[in-house]
Structure 1
Amino acid sequence: MRRPPWTRRVTAIASLGDEKRRQLFQLVASSDTAVGRDDAADALGLPRSTASFHLDKLVQDGLLAVEFHKSAGRTGPGSGRPAKMYRPAANEVNASVPDRNYDLAGELLAVAIEHSTSTGEAVGDSLRMTSYRKGRELAAGAGSLTEFMAGEGYDPRPDGEGGLVLANCPFHRLSDGHPGVVCAMNGSFLRGAAAACGEPEDCVAPNSVQGQCCARIAGRGAPS
């Protein structure tokens, strides 16, 4: 499953900068059961319309989810209709500036270690295989390799020679400390993505320019 776009994730985090919205999120997140609009409004001393607006904005931003329940003990008009209730969203939301993806790195490393432990295959070989497969999986159905890399935070930019430089490394901090491991993982991941997008795998070439990703996309006919 791919992450939501970076702008959406940043917007979701920024949404909690509003004090009322943050209080409502904390109220729902700390509750053992789903919370209704009336209960949320009463707990924070807010008008129901204000609580409803901010709760629905938190749903829109992917921080809360909605479910419907009939309210116990409620009587009068409309009492038979299920009430809109809020609970924390199942998926976490994280964002960094610049965009990083340490969750993906952690997943690739964990799967590779599990595979190595169960099969006896060298960890490095397991990591390259795991990364390649994940690249193919995530890029399946992408409009293009460029579009896929942009969505994953690589910030691809034309290099003036028919290829692309990747101005951002999603694994920057890890690659600084462990370049051999992380760059091999990254290269395999991108080769898998290239294959899924119908591009030759050898278009993924090394890049040694400081401040950029360790890989680049060579243009057709350009040396790799």
Structure 2
Amino acid sequence: MSTPRSAAPTALTALSNLDDPLRRRLFEYVAESEEPVSREEVAAALDIGRTLAAYHLDKLADAGLVEVDYQRPAGRGGPGAGRPAKVYTRTTTEMTVSVPPRDYELLARLLVSAVEQDTDGTVRAAVNEAARDAGRRAVVDSGGDLLEALRCCGYLPGADDEGRVHLRNCPFHLVAQDHLDVVCGLNLRLIEGVIAGSDHPDAHAELHPRPDRCCVVIEYDAESHPRSSASPAPIDDETHPD
């Protein structure tokens, strides 16, 4: 959610946790994971010790930046299965801090409302073209990489082996809740702009709304699987804070 002015110091404290490079890497790994991840999985992915991973994950959870649940490994249940393991997922809560305070969400809602009141389609057409242009600019900034350009636009993309890129979040979720038709259309045009200038120009974006996901899915040639250059690299810092 957008943070009200009185809550800004709390949000600022929470977000300050991401100043630590290792903690930020852990946060990004959890946020981009399709399923809840355990301490062991995070430790293995980032090439750090389990104790160090647990320490930073719990700090992120305390700050409200990730959510905690408990699960038993698949296929294990009943007496003797042991205690459920702690797992972590990205939070659905949004934190926004502006210094001095600003309300960009209000501006977005006003602009989207103006599009909805457009009677001849002129405003909507102009906004859609602006969204495509923004997507093309994001591709330039990312060096042409499709997944990196999507990340630059605020999406959490994941490519499967069946020729699809799923977007695990909507960067405009708060506005989309009340203006779904306009925001989904803007998402589609923005992503079309990204595709047009990317290293996968033959990919195709289409609307496929699902809960807790972006309304757009990208279809591409499975033989030219998009691979991001931003995969996690090993971290050598094993120093455990007190």
Question: TM-score when scaled to structure 1?
Answer: 0.46
Larger Rg: 1
Which structure has the higher relative contact order (CA within 8 Å, separation 6+)? Answer: 2
Question: TM-score when scaled to structure 2?
Answer: 0.43
